[in-house]
């Protein structure tokens, strides 16, 4: 049996993290798979994509408790502006660690997916 290509491994890792991201529908669509492949061809590092999902999720979860509920995220494309934002202006790794620890307390499955997929 042939080994998976680097592209297919990259795409599957992104989609796995996306599936476990709080606030998403957990459903992967063809457009999500195509976007993940595009990110591979743009040479966007996996850790940057994971950081973007972490930042966007934090922004959604860590908001005032009296704020109206948000609709579920239906597509990986939702995270593209944050991926572009972090590409242009990377965040301090210490801040990302802080967010990761904060979300680990609130959403252990997402933290586990981040840790597993990027190791």
Residue among 44, 55, 109 at smallest CA distance from 78:
55
C-alpha distance across the termini of the chain, in Å: 24
Q: Partners of 24 in the beta sheet?
A: 73
Residue among 15, 61, 20 at smallest CA distance from 40:
15
| pLDDT tens by residue, the chain, 119 residues | 788 899 999 999 999 999 988 889 989 999 999 999 999 999 999 999 999 999 999 999 888 889 998 999 999 999 999 999 999 999 999 999 999 888 877 777 776 766 665 44
């Amino acid at each position: 049996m042939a080994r998976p290509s680097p592209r297919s491994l990259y795409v599957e890792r992104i989609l796995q993290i996306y599936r476990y991201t709080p606030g998403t529908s957990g459903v992967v669509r063809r457009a999500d798979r195509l976007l993940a492949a595009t990110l591979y061809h743009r040479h966007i590092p996996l850790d940057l994509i994971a950081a973007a999902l972490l930042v966007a999720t934090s922004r959604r979860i860590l908001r005032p408790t009296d704020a109206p509920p948000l609709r579920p995220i239906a597509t990986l494309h939702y995270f593209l502006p944050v991926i572009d934002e972090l590409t242009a202006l990377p965040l301090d790794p210490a801040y990302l660690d802080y967010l990761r620890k904060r979300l680990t307390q609130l959403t252990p499955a997402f933290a586990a997916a981040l840790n597993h997929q990027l190791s």
